[in-house]
Structure 1
């Protein structure tokens, strides 16, 4: 038997969830290992759409510049009747929402298109910068757990290795070995009569890279009538998407796709070549019964799988990892172990809600938004309006809560530091720490002055808010705000909003006992 090696965290699966979690833990100084049974990182474009909230996470993790350089704003849709353009519509028009525009509190208002292989590559490179790496061709084959940790057996090239870890995280996809080994149910439905073909291909012909081209014979966008080609920015490739019935799947070859394109579009002036990657999917809508069993956690597709409609799968996976990362880091540093219970409590309702939303969008099939979607910039699809209100870590004891409450995403805002230099809230939040904002007049809370700085906000103080963007972002009136404390969690959500010159400090101290290591000395 091989020698046993110890590490605090073992992550199984190097997709977006696993890589995001690894980056978040590595920047906290947590030792970890990331393994994946594949011989290389994913090479396809599958999860190509990044929602605004995911862009904010990537800003925090230090990869937003690479993401922006490798992608583009989400393209508009162009539908053809044979070789004639039938209509052009923006993504907002397809969704039935207002066109997004940047605002002081939302710096990334629009979805971003970037092939998944490039997102994975960027995250893996960031992990290496932080001192970690992905161990490819390495498969988890067994694990057991006890009260003190998890004993895992992994294999590389047929050679077993024993790993002892404090926590094991399954981010190993919809067919998760970790989930199955735990015996966790995966309830939901499979659309048995439907299949989706997705592939990456080069295209010769009169199609630009700036649209999603819906190729049809008569301008009908029914799933059986269209052959979709999405331009993938900063590459020579398009993503092809073809919906088929289970009993009529064409050959998954370049020739098979060319025949299907011509059959559906009636065109011969578009030629496909260099098929880089192709896969056939069954549409599954499923969620794990549990996201945690003892010291083993599930995240991403291992915990929930969606229809691709609405572009939520990869993005929800990233949010899972971002929620779990800071909690693991805190507990490994001495915070109460019960903090880890809040991962399932917070993420399960979000996943369930998004499963329902993506299923409704799937059934609409390009016929406009479902009737129950709200036309607002904070639309759920952007994931900016998703929140943890009412959860175990959302404390809001104000007598008159405003429009922004504990559990909500913390807004961005342009402002100035005490020296008059321009900055923004996201610059202040960036990193693995809590941020405490103090509004109005009042003493610094002694409970935290020796843990992390208290940042005063106003016309004077640490952050100068002369234009009122910070106050507005938090739903506060700069004239009548009074004394108020706002604690921002490391994942950019508001943990605590409290007021009152005496009770606020006590409330803050009680909250910190739940989420941070106990003070010593």
Structure 2
């Protein structure tokens, strides 16, 4: 084998998976058909749950330094400011997280940070490697490329976007719908004469559809998004972008001093019929394509990688049976389906960006590896499969204890009797309301695997996933 895991695509999902595998000492190779990382801002919003994930992957400080909070929206009409609005509902919930609101970081910068982390861990991306074919057998996968030698791997992960070559090679259907028949333009530009304190929105008029101009935190750039009538062929060249802005705002073409990147797309929602085919697994846009309106696409993609990374490593080291990989689809496909429904409703104005978009409440209660053994729990109790919340009971910050590629055994309350589990750190805290008393086995991705009171049952569960 040339590598244990071949990751096709160096977007946010592929890079996040590569980082997670690298910190576990798992051999992985990332191949990317383009000559460079993606240059645009498209997925610019990082939700609180994703910020937790990135912190665990070792890039939390860099992500915070690279971005900023979402600006207040400003509605313009006839060249005048007409009123403010907030893009997201205010969060007054205590969800056990240090992150309460989305953080804006242009997609290209998020990917740069993940790439730098990967290199720090000894990994690298092979650019200019265009996949042309995939063949798998009982022992592994062989990937063929337009140039260069084929690569042989134990597993292949498709992170190559909505038009995934891997998915098409395996004939995995993508089922979905058109969210909006109107094509969209998105571009990164530099503009003179427009403040960076607001997200500037120019509503539809008698002569043009809407346009929004958002300052990109941590840069000198703005992202523009514009909608066009159905059937329009959008000019994504610099002069076409300038003309669109000038036609719909009070700005002149020359106020747009630079067009750095531009693309067009048609909003759609689609879900792969399956996320696994033998030794090949799909993550990110290769598995699900979202409208950008809800700010969920990149976030769901990174969390796919976070769910899959520890499972691949456990199977490859022999700590877990290969069937563990089946739980990736079992857990992530329903989440992706729910997020697709949410983003579609937001795009159509049927829902607001509220608690669900922060993704802190997502969990895997119905997963075959979520085992809850406590009887008669209250309706609102934390359960196996849920995300383990943060906190500092007894002076111990829980997320500091969970951080890293390991499982954690949390013993809560004076009567909890933790077993000794080789390779699993044990943390003891006093009774803590968000959890309730008992023993909690926290998975490497921060979700609760087993919950109960029996040390023997906890040890039996852990033995299926952790090699001494």
Q: Same fold (TM over 0.5)?
A: yes
Pick the aligned partner of 1:180 from 168, 171, 187: 168
- Corresponding position of 2:321: 336
Deviation (angstroms), 1:15? 0.1
Following the alignment from structure 2 to structure 1, what is the Cα–Cα distance between the partners of residues 265 and 164?
16
Structure 2 partner of 1:214: 201
**SS at the partner of 2:185?**
strand
Match of 1:454 in 2: 426
CA separation in 2, counterparts of 1:440 and 1:11?
A: 43
Alpha-carbon distance between aligned partners in 2 of 1:490 and 1:64, rounded to the nearest angstrom: 17
- Kept in 2, the 8 Å contact 1:217–1:265? The answer is no
Deviation at 1:267, TM superposition (A): 4.7
Paired position in structure 2 for 1:408:
386
Q: Are positions 1:509 and 2:463 aligned together?
A: no
Change (3 A) 1:29 1:433: same
Residue 104 of structure 1 deviates from its aligned partner by 7.8
Match of 1:398 in 2: 374
Match of 1:73 in 2: 69
Residue 117, structure 1, aligned to residue 117, structure 2: no
1:98-142 superposed Cα distances (whole Å, 9 cap, x missing partner): x22685821001101111000000000000011101111012222
* Secondary structure, aligned partner of 2:444: coil
CA distance in 1, matches of 2:440, 2:424: 14
Paired residue for 1:473?
434
Superposed counterparts of 1:164-203, under 5 Å: 164-191=152-179, 193-203=181-191
Matched, 1:259 2:237: no
How far residue 247 of structure 1 moved from its aligned partner, in angstroms, is 2.3
CA displacement at 1:217 relative to structure 2: 7.3
Correspondence for 1:27 among 20, 23, 32: 23
CA distance in 1, matches of 2:443, 2:107: 28
Matched, 1:314 2:305: no
- Asked if 1 retains the 8 angstrom alpha-carbon contact of 2:188 and 2:221, the reply is yes
CA distance in structure 2 between the partners assigned to 1:452 and 1:255 by the alignment: 59
2:365 to 359, 365, 389: 389
Does the CA contact (< 8 Å) of 1:104 and 1:413 recur in 2?
no
Task: Give the Cα–Cα distance (whole angstroms) in 2 for the partners of residues 48 and 41 of structure 1.
Answer: 15
Provide TM-score, normalisation by structure 2: 0.94
1-structure distance, mates of 2:424, 2:387: 21
Post-superposition Cα deviations, 1:241-299, rounded to whole Å, max 9, x if no partner, equal 00112323342223222322232235549821210100011212111011000000000
1-side partners of 2:458 and 2:315: how far apart? 19
Gaps of 5+ in 1: 417-421, 459-467
Q: Which residue of 2 aligns with 1:48?
A: 44
Instruction: Say if 1:297 and 1:80 are closer, same or farther in 2 by CA, change over 3 A.
Output: same
Question: 3-state DSSP class of the match of 2:130?
Answer: strand
Larger Rg: 1
How far is the alpha carbon of 1:494 from its aligned partner?
A: 1.0
Q: Distance in 2 between matches of 1:163 and 1:212?
A: 46
Tell me if 1:299 matches 2:287: no
Asked whether 1:352 is paired with 2:337, we answer: yes
Q: How many positions carry a matched residue from both structures?
A: 465
Distance 1:6 1:287, change over 3 A: same
Residue deviations 1:450-485 (CA, integer Å, cap 9, x gap): 332322211xxxxxxxxx7xx1332x2xxxx4xx10
TM-score after normalising by structure 1: 0.85
Give the Cα separation in 1 of the matches to 2:348 and 2:170.
32
Q: Rate the CA distance shift 1:139–1:269 in 2: closer, same or farther, 3 A.
A: closer
Contact 1:213 1:228 in 2 (8 A): yes
Post-superposition Cα deviations, 1:36-94, rounded to whole Å, max 9, x if no partner, equal 000000110000000000000011011011101110012221111122111111223xx
Separation (CA, whole Å) in 1 of partners of 2:2 and 2:231: 49
RMSD (CA atoms):
2.1
1:248–1:107 distance in 2 versus 1, CA, 3 Å: same
Partner of 1:491: 445
- SS of 2:224's partner is strand
1:14: which partner in 2?
Answer: 10
1:284 and 1:262 map into 2 onto residues whose CA distance is 28
- Structure 2 equivalent of residue 138 of structure 1: 129
Q: Note closer, same or farther for the CA distance 1:404–1:443 as it changes in structure 2 (3 Å cut).
A: closer
Partner of 2:409: 436
Alignment CA distance shift 1:42-1:267 (3 Å): closer
Contact 1:102 1:108 survives alignment (8 Å) = no
Which of residues 146, 150, 163 is equivalent to 2:151? 163
